[in-house]
Structure 1
Amino acid sequence: MTNQPDPARFRDITDWVFDLDNTLYPHHSNLFSQIDVKMTAYVSELLQLPRDEARALQKELYLQYGTTLNGLMERHGIDPDDFLQKVHDIDYSWVAPHPELGEEIRKLPGRKFIFTNGDRNHAERTARQLGILDHFDDIFDIVAAGLVPKPARETYDKFSALHRVAGPQAAMFEDLARNLAVPKALGMTTVLIVPKNFEPTFSEIWERDPDDADDVDYVTDDLAGFLRTINGQNG
């Protein structure tokens, strides 16, 4: 599932911005499911709730505050460092190295960034497991964002100001369409990454964003192939 890149849309791009989870590694790796389980356990232990009640609250916090972390900070004043350390204590071998993706990222002209609602350590470990870490200029994580998650406008503004990223010269790759609304408004070219053989029936469908379709310029289930097409045009 790909609508092919238009050469004219990417010819002047000098800043390439990538989400991490379910974007730089495929959805079927299921890495985030480990984090999800850890977050439920954290909520359960913190509030002494049975697992099913903890999970329901976790999802409520995610929907209301953008991340479970943000909700727990707002409602319960937790230590964000403690939360981030515990929920990212996972097995990264679930992610398969992807040298082809690394090569295509390396070839892109200009700067490359990871922009994630996770923390830097998680991003570094994931990108290192993929074999792509060395191709990025920087990682903008939830701590750099002042613990304010995407899709908040202030977080994109903070990222853009820090790295002097101008919208029309930037492209953003994301697995959640709602996180592309602000980049689109800023003039960025937006690319939505969907799972292979995407069917809108998989669990947690509430995370999909049909109302944000106008904010998406391109859709692909093959990031490496999409970048290969761009690099062929740039070459």
Structure 2
Amino acid sequence: MTDKRDFAHIETWVFDLDNTLYPHHVNLWQQVDARIGDFVATYLKVTPDEAFKIQKDYYRRYGTTMRGMMTEHGVRADDYLKYVHAIDHSPLEPNPAMGAAIERLPGRKLILTNGSCEHASNVLARLGIADHFEAVFDIIAAELEPKPSPQTYRRFLDLHNVDPTKAAMFEDLARNLVVPHDLGMTTVLVVPDGVKDVVREDWELEGRDAGHVDHVTDDLTGFLQGLLAKG
């Protein structure tokens, strides 16, 4: 087994958004998930149960349900994103400790999300950490090609002039860390803390022992504070 990559050389810190910068148990994404199911059911004129099956099938095969709906049914991305992200962000609470840790990280901080910039702005504002990030690379910037597509990571790296061998990636889905690791990034999988119930499918929680996962944490703030203490 190869040694896990460390952080001594890191110049750019890349974070996923949902279920990464806030705890899984907030279940904010559950609201989006429900809206996606409603959209699929209405658009395809199918029952909620059938919509759920289609939604999860597309999510797993295409990276996002939206990509599947666009590919299979010609859905317009703008209509989809506007509908599914119309949620209540109030369950999110400010996290000054995490903000302080992110601010102290040496180098650049960026967000790479399969969501929209509008959704990211709402999340970051509720968490009180928007000022700590240089930019958000969203699904529109990705030309509607979601993670884990290799092209998306390449577009992100090229647009923001990031050297992947000097970057770290924080994600809640192990499959979204395969390409970053192959590119030379130090990878961190953010998992539920196991204390509170979370709404996730089994496959979404897999991969913490995978070779492309360098580090695993159920406490992002504590993990970052630990890195700073070592520094």
TM-score range, shorter chain: over 0.9
The Cα offsets for residues 134-162 of structure 1, whole Å up to 9 and x where unpaired, read as 10000000100010000111100000111
Specify the alignment match of 2:70 in structure 1: 73
Q: Any stretches of 5+ residues in structure 1 without a counterpart?
A: 1-5
Q: Which has the higher contact order (CA 8 A, sep 6+)?
A: 1
- Percent sequence identity over aligned pairs: 51
**Residue 61 in 1 paired to residue 68 in 2?**
no
SS at match of 1:10: coil
CA gap of 1:202–1:106, structure 2 versus 1, over 3 A, is: same
The structure whose residues are more often helix, as a share, is 1
Q: Any stretches of 5+ residues in structure 2 without a counterpart?
A: none
Hey, what's the Cα distance between the residues in 1 that align with 2:208 and 2:193? 21
When the two structures are superposed, what TM-score results if normalisation uses the length of structure 2? Answer: 0.94
Residue type of the partner of 2:98? Answer: L
Say whether the 8 Å CA contact 1:178–1:212 is kept in structure 2.
Answer: no
Question: Residues 84-103 of structure 1 correspond to what in structure 2 (within 5 A)?
Answer: 84-103=81-100
CA gap of 1:57–1:179, structure 2 versus 1, over 3 A, is: same
Residue type of the partner of 2:108? Answer: R
Hey, what's the Cα distance between the residues in 1 that align with 2:108 and 2:195? 30
Specify the alignment match of 1:132 in structure 2: 129
TM-superposed CA distance for 1:37, in Å, is 0.3
TM-superposed CA distance for 1:209, in Å, is 3.3
Residue type of the partner of 1:183? Answer: P
The Cα offsets for residues 15-73 of structure 1, whole Å up to 9 and x where unpaired, read as 00000010000000000000000000001110111111111111111112110000000
SS at match of 1:113: strand
Say whether the 8 Å CA contact 2:37–2:52 is kept in structure 1.
Answer: yes
- Aligned-pair Cα RMSD in Å: 1.9
Specify the alignment match of 1:3 in structure 2: none
TM-superposed CA distance for 1:233, in Å, is 2.3
Specify the alignment match of 1:164 in structure 2: 161
Hey, what's the Cα distance between the residues in 2 that align with 1:63 and 1:178? 10
Paired residues, number: 228
TM-superposed CA distance for 1:198, in Å, is 7.0
Hey, what's the Cα distance between the residues in 2 that align with 1:92 and 1:202? 17
